[in-house]
Amino acid sequence: MAPDRLLRCCVMKHLKGWSFRDLERELRSNLVYRRFTHFDADTTPHFSVFSRSFALLTPALTAEIHHRVVDLACEQGVAQGQKLRTDTTCVESNVHYPTDSSLLGDGIRVLGRSLQRIARECKSGAVQVVDHGRAVKHRLLEISRAAKSLTEGNQKRMRDSYQKLMGLTRSMARQASEVVQKAAKAQLKVVGNLLRVETQIGQLRHFLPLVEKVITQTHKRVLEGDSHVEGKVLSLFEPHTEVIRKGKAHKPNEFGRLVRIDEVENGIVSGYQVLAGNPDDSTSWMPALEQHQASFGQAPEMACGDRGFFSARNEREAQALGVKKVALPARGRLSAKRAEQQKQRWFRRGLRWRAGIEATISTLKHPFSMWRATYKGGHGFERYVGWCVITKNLFSIARYQERRKDHAQIG
């Protein structure tokens, strides 16, 4: 696929919030979309071609494209870099709600699926796989029913069901480990496609450590009562997922990654960063200013953030970097001097301008589909966030140009 077609298809997909199948169908049937993506009368690719081609745009390459879009915004006068506002938000991973029972069920399913595919390529009886699907379903139902009540009897039944489910998972993991060891010693009697067997062995090597972690954390929580397990696995398919707590009453726990968003004039998102873990917002203040300085060659005249970014050290370092007006509201009870400073007109104006980033984050999450990243893996998560930001910036540039044309015609 030609690079210009690939990039335009990326923008089209995130602008409309389509899946790869939707993108293929719309390009095949709409002449306007064909003209925009430069396909015209040519044959459009299969959706799997789009999926593989988009994966070639690594996070580093996506960041370079984003920097180029920001440079274009500067060249066209859309962004001057005089003001900066920053905030963090949680972008969800494409996972179901992580419970210990569902993770154990996922482990049995993926290990059993790979073992069955290996058995089909081996000599009859070389790998005997027991289908535990019915037993797993019954154990999951028992756990869900027992968890509805906190009585001692129900809690005992739930622990018993968990022990049975962990026993099934251990037996499946043990069999998968034996198959991997046999494959390493060339003791598997393969009569079919050897490449398919090697592919499934790779899947087993990937999932086995994760399944073993799930068994360990379930044993500690259910049987030992320790709910604070380090390095907890929240998904077998998106292991980079973290628990994010932002203090929302309607959603106290979110499962995804924390993302920092930096915005300048006219709705241009000048920087973004996918953060590790769930750090305090105050640790993201200086990286945002340094990112801004690298993009625009100078520090902003005004930098704004909410109370989470405040600390006396952050204010001093921002002023030392060259920021003339630092609008960070302090936490807790204010002294008379601090209260007088925060009542100044420039400070209140900065806080009013800062509130606009909440609307920007909402726009990224809903019209541009950044509320949940659907690309696979940690790198895919970063690519997804990057392309949502790139598409939003291109939209903001186009909107600014149209407004300028309207003002010129009126004038």
305-361 per-position pLDDT tens digit: 999 999 999 999 999 999 999 999 999 899 999 999 999 999 999 999 999 999 999
Q: What local confidence, expressed as pLDDT, does residue 53 receive?
A: 94
Same domain (yes/no): 290, 400: yes
pTM: 0.92
| 1 compared with 213, residue with greater pLDDT | 213
Structure tokens at 225: 């009562």
Same domain (yes/no): 181, 265: no
Q: What local confidence, expressed as pLDDT, does residue 393 receive?
A: 96
Residue 252 lies in a domain: yes
HEC per residue, the chain = CCHHHHHHHHHHHHHHCCCHHHHHHHHHHCHHHHHHCCCCCCCCCCHHHHHHHHHCCCHHHHHHHHHHHHHHHHHCCCCCCCEEEEEEEEEEECCCCCCHHHHHHHHHHHHHHHHHHHHHHECCCCCCCCCCHHHHHHHHHHHHHHCCCCCHHHHHHHHHHHHHHHHHHHHHHHHHHHHHHHHHCCCCCECCCHHHHHHHHHHHHHHHHHHHHHHHHHHHHHHCCCCCCCCCCCCCCCCCCEEECCCCCCCCCEEEEEEEEEECHHHCEEEEEEECCCCCHHHHHHHHHHHHHHHHCCCCCEEECCHHHCCHHHHHHHHHHCCCEEECCCCCCCCHHHHHHHCCHHHHHHHHHHCHHHHHHHHHHCCCCCCEECCCHHHHHHHHHHHHHHHHHHHHHHHHHHHHHHHHHHC
Residue 87 lies in a domain: yes
Selection from 353, 308, 315, 352 nearest residue 331 by Cα: 308
Selection from 409, 333, 369, 392 nearest residue 92 by Cα: 369
Select from 223, 256, 271 the last residue of a domain: 223
Task: Yes or no: say if 396 and 268 are a contact pair by the CB < 8 Å rule.
Answer: yes
Same domain (yes/no): 158, 184: yes
Ramachandran assignment for 296, one of left (phi > 0), alpha (psi -120 to 50 degrees), beta (any other): alpha
Same domain (yes/no): 273, 152: no
Same domain (yes/no): 266, 316: yes
Q: What local confidence, expressed as pLDDT, does residue 335 receive?
A: 93
Structural domain that includes position 195: 100-223
Q: What local confidence, expressed as pLDDT, does residue 261 receive?
A: 97
Residue 236 lies in a domain: no
Same domain (yes/no): 368, 251: yes
Residue 230 lies in a domain: no
Look up the CATH number of the domain holding residue 120. 1.20.120
Residue 39 lies in a domain: yes
Q: What local confidence, expressed as pLDDT, does residue 411 receive?
A: 65
Same domain (yes/no): 169, 270: no
Residue 233 lies in a domain: no
Mean pLDDT of the chain: 93
Residue 192 confidence (pLDDT) above 90: no
Residue 246 lies in a domain: yes
Residue 410 confidence (pLDDT) above 80: no
Same domain (yes/no): 42, 76: no
Give the Cα separation of 214 and 209 in Å (integer).
9
Same domain (yes/no): 187, 265: no
Residue 228 lies in a domain: no
Total domains in the chain come to 3
pLDDT per position as a tens digit, 47-91: 999 999 999 999 999 999 999 999 999 999 999 999 999 999 999
Question: φ, ψ for residue 191 (rounded to 5)?
Answer: -115, -10
Same domain (yes/no): 71, 145: no
Same domain (yes/no): 208, 297: no
Q: What local confidence, expressed as pLDDT, does residue 247 receive?
A: 84
Q: What local confidence, expressed as pLDDT, does residue 230 receive?
A: 84
Same domain (yes/no): 47, 106: no
Select from 223, 252, 273 the last residue of a domain: 223
Lowest mean pLDDT segment, chosen from 17-31, 118-132, 265-279: 118-132
Select from 196, 223, 250 the last residue of a domain: 223
pLDDT per position as a tens digit, 220-263: 999 888 888 888 999 999 999 999 998 888 889 999 999 999 99
